[in-house]
Amino acid sequence: MVFEGDAYVLRTLIVNGAENKSNAIPFVPQFVSGPAFVPESPNIFPADTDLFVSVSLDYPQVYDGMVKAIANAEEQSRKYRNQPVKESSAPESPFAIYEKKLGLKIKDDLLPLLGNEFALALAKKVPSPTPSPLDAGAEEPTPEDGEKRNARTADPSPVIAISVKDREAVGRLIPKIIESLGFKGANLFAQTEKRDGAEITSYGNVLAYAFLGDFLVVSADAAATRHVVDAYVNHQTLSSDNHFRNFIRWQPRQVLGQVYVAPGLVRQYISPAGGGAPVNDNMSEFLSRVNPVIDPLTYALTNEGQGPLHELHVPKNLLQMIIAQASSEATQVPLQTNEAVAKSSLRTIAVAETTYQATKGDGHFGSLDDLIAENLVNREMLQKYGYRIEVTISGKGFEAIAVPVTYGESGRLSYFIDETSVLRGGDHGGGAATIADQPAQ
């Protein structure tokens, strides 16, 4: 691990034997790299892609590895159950039932139609258009519908791009594959739409695909597939984005794999403004003032003879933000512990009051000193965890409150409980909670 420019660089060389020289990831023999390639999928995916992954795969060897792994698992299972082990010269394909429905062999008939590049992308999801009340079957949109659309917009859908050698042959197989997966009659619901020469085929909310260049683009979200097609026909792709090109410039031209994590995705998990984990007040104020610019995180997989070389570039400012975030979360631990103890203490007091009323109190509740004197409550527990706890007796009832000694440092929430044993709480800025507060969990 070294520091170069503005990034920390981690390089790992895996020295493989001759029998597994194409195994790029230790302990994952099913992942077999294909030949080195120049990624073409950036010419397909949109420029606003937040996560991009592209790898070269040797599909026949991956297929053989999966078949062997499943056969070995079944053999071990039979041995464990003391069942006879089948003697067979070649393990049966786990996809035999689908191959029978398709009328072809996956290894012999399907895999030769595919290229080596397999890519995945998470692009910013565009909101679905609001249906018009004039549309057939459409209902008047409600505020709840708007909230649901906003929630869906925040979660991008993955899009897969698979390089193909014969678009027409793959296009003929796709309807059969969908049928073989159990979607009977799915072809009756297939809809097609054209976008400047590109054709999108969708099957309701199950699947949508299109052929772009030498790639088959597939997603379970039709809107995500349309977004990729629109970016492609408008030449607004990842490869045309200066930001993307600048930050993968360090990578060799030919790779076995490539990963690009855009700042937008990183910010979601680092910055509270981007929907990340909450931070304390000091950290939140710091982030709002400096508004840090986060660089992308990039990775490349290559092989120059000795074995697969994994190289990860982590921007310095990203690492600093992660450390700051971890420090911020660490400061939250005592605060959350104190609040948990305060709630537990009030529940203990409620039980102690019931016990005191039925015994020493002779029908009356006791003060906090009374409960401590009867060993029903531990005084040290009440004073040790940053909360001030008070008990007030009134008529045939009692009220107990827990207030942080130092608001924001020893605790934020205040709590209340009475003879009903319902614990209530809320953020009162250091003030006392009351019976008007919502029940606390």
- What's the CA gap between 178 and 172, in Å, rounded? 11
Tally Cβ neighbours within 10 Å of residue 354.
Answer: 15
Q: What is the pLDDT of residue 149?
A: 43
Question: Which pTM was predicted?
Answer: 0.65
pLDDT category at 277 given cuts 50, 70, 90 is very low
Lowest mean pLDDT among 7-16, 295-304, 323-332: 323-332
What are the C-alpha distances in Å from 393 to residues 57, 146, 400? Answer: 74, 50, 9
Which helix (H) or strand (E) covers residue 335, if one does? helix 316-358
pLDDT category at 235 given cuts 50, 70, 90 is very high
Share of the chain above pLDDT 90, in %: 40
Q: What is the pLDDT of residue 26?
A: 77
Q: What is the pLDDT of residue 307?
A: 85
Residue 169 pLDDT > 60: yes
- 3-class secondary structure, 35: coil
Most confident of 74-88, 120-134, 325-339, 395-409: 395-409
Lowest mean pLDDT among 34-48, 215-229, 306-320: 306-320
Return the biggest CA–CA distance within the chain. Answer: 90
Q: How many CA atoms lie within 13 A of 177 on its CB side?
A: 14
Instruction: Please check whether residue 323 is in contact with residue 39, taking contact to mean a CB–CB distance below 8 angstroms.
Output: no
Q: What is the pLDDT of residue 313?
A: 93
Per residue in 120-147, pLDDT (tens digit) is 999 765 554 444 333 334 444 444 444 4
Q: What is the pLDDT of residue 250?
A: 93
- 3-class secondary structure, 74: helix
Per residue in 44-70, pLDDT (tens digit) is 999 999 999 999 999 998 888 888 877
Instruction: Please check whether residue 1 is in contact with residue 314, taking contact to mean a CB–CB distance below 8 angstroms.
Output: no
CA dihedral sign of residues 368, 370, 373, 376:
negative
**293 compared with 176, residue with greater pLDDT:** 176
Q: What is the pLDDT of residue 136?
A: 35
Q: What is the pLDDT of residue 147?
A: 40
- 3-class secondary structure, 135: coil
Structure letter (DSSP) for residue 105: -
